[in-house]
Structure 1
Amino acid sequence: MKGSAYEAMAAIGQTIISNKQFLTDLDAAIGDGDHGINMARGFEAVATKLLSLGPDKDIGVILKTVGMTLISSVGGASGPLYGTAFLRAASPSQGKFELDTETATLMLAAAITGIKDRGKASRGEKTMLDVLEPAYDAFVAGAAEQKSLIECLEFACEAARQGVEFTKTIVATKGRASYLGERSLGHQDPGATSSYLMLQTLLEFSRR
């Protein structure tokens, strides 16, 4: 993948900040109405941290910084969940300056495990896992066919997009949205949506 982890995270942060209102509106329908606000605040803090860190650090250092910043600056469940995901993904990427398919596979697996450990959720409960697990499966399938990193990311993003659509068809059983029961049907999950936006931004960054 061309470009540094610093630049990739800056692009992801800008996407989240740009979609602040969209994510907030999604959350207002089935949650506390603060997902976009909290995520934008977190990535604004990340931008400041990365600026002080500099662009010459390896992927692991960048992701660890992102994770710690999100945990300390994002309210609600999103901060701990995304923060843990980035912290876990930092481990297999230590010392790496370029993303390759093998490392990306390990990073995605570690991030998903972190979210499961922290959130005690599983696929099918109308959460970000309904995007991330299908995306991981598609990425791994592409890697098994010796596809390029960009092709694997394309497969992952298409699976993630379908995952977002899937969340509209199921009842939430985790988090604030679970209080709505059947009324959560028809609404896409904001956390799943922000996960998709991150993956899509990473794909677009990789295509540059």
Structure 2
Amino acid sequence: MDKMTIGDVPDMFDCVAQIFAEKKDELCQMDAAMGDGDLGLTMSKGYGALPGFLRDLQGEGDIGKMLFKGAMKMQNTVPSTMGTLMSSGVMQAGKSLKGKVELEPADMATFVTSFAEGIKKRGKCELGDRTILDSVDAGAEAAREAVADNADATFTDVMAAAVDGAKRGVEATKDMVPKFGKAAVHAAKAKGVADQGAVAGLYLLEGLGSYFAGRE
């Protein structure tokens, strides 16, 4: 596929919802060791609701507005810290894509980059703080490079690069010291273990990327 329409976007997030439904227990178990143990529930509930919100907003006729307003509804569904970060990421992406009625492959690099910016702004976190930002930002950088290096990059190319970048970001968190939340209290246990938020960020990008599999 060369372009995505406004009707394709909710379908793409169906794929995100599916991966978080599959990974719910795994993320909860990871989170239980370092946090509240509800990460998988937050991700599956929030992204499980988002596609429906987006479908209700297709009448906006604007992909950016649809994403922004859908994310606001998502935030009310999962008003936790991580839920707020996820919603903020989608909102920021919506701002960057305002006015778009179709998306091209390069726009997915913009989506991931803006998503990372939204997390950073709302969470007041930096790279190296051992958070979801470490995987999503690495994915965003790789996605931008894929677009810059190949003018003919497809959606699959861009998202495959993003996933590869995020995997490197997840691996890097094993050597980082947590600075936020309950994970900071359990910092000694973090050594050599991937950050659960960063893993969730990887799954988000894998979910987005899975939509394009078989469609190009």
What per-residue deviation string (whole Å, max 9, x for no partner) do you get for residues 13-61 of structure 1? 1211221111111101111101111222222332443454459954324
Q: CA RMSD in A?
A: 2.2
Is 1:81 aligned to residue 75 of structure 2?
Answer: no
Q: Which residue of 2 aligns with 1:11?
A: 15
For the pair 1:167 / 2:173, whether they are aligned, the reply is yes
Residue 53 of structure 2: aligned partner: 49
Choose from 132, 136, 140 the match for 2:136.
132
Q: Between Structure 1 and Structure 2, how many residues are aligned?
A: 208
CA contact (8 A) 1:5 1:97 kept: no
2:153 counterpart residue number = 148
The correspondence for 1:66, drawn from 61, 64, 70, is 70
**Which of structure 1's runs of 4+ aligned residues deviate more than 6 A?**
none
Q: Which residue of 2 aligns with 1:91?
A: 95
CA distance in 1, matches of 2:93, 2:85: 12
Provide the rounded CA distance (Å) in 1 between the counterparts of 2:158 and 2:52. 31
- Decide whether the 8 Å contact of 2:146 with 2:158 is kept in 1: yes
TM-score by length of 2: 0.86
Amino acid across the alignment from 1:69 = K
The whole-number CA distance in structure 1 between the counterparts of 2:95 and 2:79 is 24
Deviation at 1:169, TM superposition (A): 2.5
Paired position in structure 2 for 1:200: 206
2:175 is paired with a residue of what secondary structure?
Answer: coil
Question: Identity percentage over the alignment?
Answer: 29
TM-score between both structures, scaled by the size of structure 1: 0.89
Cα distance in 1 between the residues matched to 2:51 and 2:105: 26
Q: Any gaps of 5 or more consecutive residues in structure 1?
A: none
8 Å contact kept, 1:29–1:187: no
Aligned equivalents of 1:65 and 1:101: distance in 2?
23
SS in 1 for 2:103: coil
Query: Which 5+ residue runs of structure 2 have no aligned equivalent?
Result: none
- Tell me the distance in 2 between the aligned counterparts of 1:127 and 1:139: 19
